[in-house]
């Protein structure tokens, strides 16, 4: 079937010298890197919301992007046609995975019962599409933030009736994710936060969020859903202060409420930078604490302070992200989901291909460079050497808990001033530059 992009053939790998904009220069799905294929390492996913439902809306005007599948007057015909367009796109692009919110794939109806019937219909079609193409669901999620009932949050809403509505919605979204064999399920705290403490009981809201997540864990077990649950941190937008601020904050929340064994994190690059961190920092925090789950691959704009969700192209970012992921053991259930949108002036379906091809190539390059850094151990050896004092003598005794303040005072009185060593930051940055090519 070639209904929507008759002129675009399956995107092929043509190598770094190709000048064809509709070809991969670096992403060679079957090529092996450190014992696995690029496709196995990178686990690329296309997101449904920006790619098919995003039409270039901004605060100053409605969408600019006209898509053929939106021409139907019946919203369910639109949903069916969108699914056709989406699977044709996934196949031609050559990605293995997709991700969606419940409301992306089927529009909300007057009642929850009717909304769920609509979802069931589209899920039946999607399941067949998945079977025919071999494309899998990386994760599903719920949109419990767009409808006006969620204006004051979902699980953190002051009204228990809204909490109940959100629970009913997540219940259904978990069921359909399970039905579609999803490898994971994401909780992004859409409007779980606050705009002013003048009207907010912060402690109660956090307790409610935890209770909600405990119910989700319980229901997951009940239906036998084996996918990984993730929390996706974001510091602000839409609320002024989101509860799931960053990886460290989510970690503390999970530990406090006894949820740490059931959740990992879905780290989005643009959310990391909004929180004042680098993308690599958030990933490294996850690796250090056994929380690395999945990635929403995108980037922000350093000159704009909001969630611009642009396609990732920066080789330093992709290299350091893949370096951190590889050193953390690589993805298991997770992958690289392009939570990114084409700009408002990129109005052609073809622009969706250019955007994804560039981002996939940027991550393929990042993967290759990271693998070379790991193979040559250039950074590893330096770090190992820098901490070598902890592998012997005093350092080892401290790590083993064999000494206290009194022994350490004695040691310092005997040995005097420590000998300082350079951190060699500039040399290491130059080495990184030598590898990025």
- Name the residue with the smallest CB distance to ligand XLS: 188
Among 91, 192, 268, 282, binds ligand XLS (CB under 6 A): 268
Does residue 296 interact with Ca ion by CB under 5 A? Answer: yes
Residue 64 CB, shortest distance to ligand XLS, in Å, is 20
Q: How many residues bind Ca ion (CB under 5 A)?
A: 6
Does residue 104 have a cis peptide bond before it, meaning omega lies within 30 degrees of 0?
no
Strand partners, 301: 304
Residue from 51, 82, 141, 156 touching ligand XLS (CB under 6 A): that is: 141
Helix, strand and coil in the chain, % to nearest 5? 50, 15, 35
For the CB of residue 307, give the shortest distance to ligand XLS in the complex, in Å.
Answer: 5
Could you confirm whether 104 is annotated as catalytic? Answer: yes
CB 252 within 8 A of CB 172: no
Is residue 188 a contact residue for ligand XLS (CB under 6 A)?
yes
C-alpha pair distances (Å), 46 with each of 90, 252, 272, 292, 325: 7, 30, 20, 20, 20
Residue 318 in contact with ligand XLS, rule: CB under 6 A: no
Q: Residue 311: what are its φ and ψ, rounded to 5°?
A: -70, 140
- List Cβ neighbours of 82 (8 Å cut-off, separation of 6 or more): 52, 53, 67, 69, 70, 105
User: Residue 339, interface with Ca ion (CB under 5 A)?
Assistant: yes
3-state secondary structure of 175: helix
Which of 28, 102, 104, 246 is catalytic? The answer is: 104
In angstroms, what is the minimal distance from the CB of 409 to ligand XLS?
Answer: 50
CA 77 to chain centre: 30
Please indicate whether residue 101 is annotated as part of the active site.
yes
Q: Name the binder of 282 from ligand XLS, Ca ion, none, CB < 5-8 A by kind.
A: none
Strand partners, 294: 266
Among 179, 232, 244, 282, binds ligand XLS (CB under 6 A): 232
End-to-end CA separation in angstroms for the chain: 39
Using CB under 6 A as the binding rule, whether residue 102 contacts ligand XLS is answered as: no
Beta carbon of residue 71, minimum distance to ligand XLS (angstroms, whole number) = 26
Q: Which of 242, 241, 220, 240 is nearest to 230 (CA)?
A: 220
The distance of closest approach from Cβ of residue 296 to Ca ion in the complex, given in angstroms and rounded to an integer, is 4
Binding to ligand XLS in span 144-163, by CB under 6 A: none
For the annotated catalytic residues, the residue numbers are 101, 104
Which spans of this chain sit near ligand XLS (rule: CB under 6 A)? 101, 141, 186, 188, 232, 234, 268, 296, 307, 339
Which spans of this chain sit near Ca ion (rule: CB under 5 A)? 268, 270, 296, 307, 309, 339
């Amino acid at each position: 079937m070639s209904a929507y992009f008759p002129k675009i053939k399956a995107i092929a790998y043509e190598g770094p010298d190709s000048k064809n904009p509709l070809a991969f220069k670096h992403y060679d799905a079957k090529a092996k890197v450190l014992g696995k294929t690029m496709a196995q390492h990178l686990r690329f996913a296309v997101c449904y919301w920006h790619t098919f439902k995003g039409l270039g809306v901004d605060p100053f005007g409605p969408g600019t992007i006209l898509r053929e599948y939106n021409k139907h007057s019946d919203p369910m015909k639109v949903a069916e046609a969108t699914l056709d367009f989406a699977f044709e796109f996934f196949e031609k692009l050559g990605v293995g995975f997709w991700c969606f919110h419940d409301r992306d794939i089927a529009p909300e109806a007057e009642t929850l019962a009717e909304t769920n019937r609509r979802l069931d219909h589209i899920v039946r079609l999607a399941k067949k599409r998945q079977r025919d193409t071999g494309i899998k669901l990386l994760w599903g999620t719920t949109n419990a933030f767009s409808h006006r009932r969620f204006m004051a949050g979902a699980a953190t809403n002051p009204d228990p009736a809204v909490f109940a509505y959100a629970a009913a919605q997540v219940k259904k979204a978990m069921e359909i994710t399970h039905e579609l064999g999803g490898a994971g399920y994401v909780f992004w705290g859409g409007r779980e936060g606050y705009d002013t403490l003048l009207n907010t009981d912060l402690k109660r809201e956090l307790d409610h969020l935890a209770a909600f997540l405990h119910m989700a864990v319980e229901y997951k077990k009940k239906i036998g859903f084996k996918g990984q649950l993730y929390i996706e941190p974001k510091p602000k937008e839409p609320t002024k202060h989101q509860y799931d601020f960053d990886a460290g904050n989510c970690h503390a929340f999970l530990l406090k409420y006894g949820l740490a064994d059931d959740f990992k994190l879905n780290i989005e690059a643009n959310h990391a930078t909004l929180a004042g961190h680098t993308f690599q920092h958030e990933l490294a925090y996850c690796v250090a604490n056994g929380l690395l789950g999945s990635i929403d691959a995108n980037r922000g704009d350093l000159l704009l302070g909001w969630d611009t969700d642009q396609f990732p192209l920066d080789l330093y970012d992709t290299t350091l992200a893949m370096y951190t992921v590889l050193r953390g053991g690589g993805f298991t259930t997770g992958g690289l989901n392009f939570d990114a949108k084409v700009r408002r002036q990129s109005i052609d379906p073809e622009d969706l291909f250019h955007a994804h091809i560039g981002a996939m190539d940027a991550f393929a390059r990042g993967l290759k460079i990271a693998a070379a850094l790991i193979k040559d151990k250039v950074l590893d050896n330096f770090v190992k050497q820098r901490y070598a004092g902890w592998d012997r003598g005093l350092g080892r005794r401290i790590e083993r808990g064999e000494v206290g303040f009194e022994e350490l005072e004695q040691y310092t009185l005997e040995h005097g001033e420590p000998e300082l060593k350079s951190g060699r930051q500039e040399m290491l940055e130059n080495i990184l530059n030598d590898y990025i090519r």
